[in-house]
Amino acid sequence: METLFFIIAKTVAILLEVVYFGMLARMLLPFFLNPEESRLYGISCLITEPFIAPVRFVLVKLNIGQDSPIDWSFFITAVLLSLLTTFLPAI
């Protein structure tokens, strides 16, 4: 049973790392490539959007950051992923 929890925790940790690096790629690629023509950017959007969309939905419902030039949903999702990655080994 303990090994099952270990395997699940490792799988979730790897998934979180993939999403985190996808977010990093999504943030940096528009500086170097045209986002409309880049497949790598499209893949990073496909990986990260399921994690960003719920945060964006909550922020829209709470009317937070609507007039800001910063994508707060992206920033908050990155912080949440970082916290999850930090606290996952403690579970």
Per-residue pLDDT tens digits of the chain, which is 91 residues long: 788 888 888 898 899 889 989 999 999 998 988 888 889 999 999 999 999 999 999 999 998 888 888 889 999 999 998 888 888 776 6
Share in percent of the chain as helix, strand, coil (round to 5): 80, 0, 20
Q: CA nearest 16: which of 87, 91, 90, 64? A: 87
For 50, other C-beta atoms within 10 Å of its C-beta total 9
Position 84 scores a pLDDT of 86
List the chain domain ranges.
2-90
How much is the pTM? Answer: 0.80
| Dist CA 73 CA 66 (whole Å) | 11
SS3 52: helix
Position 91 scores a pLDDT of 61
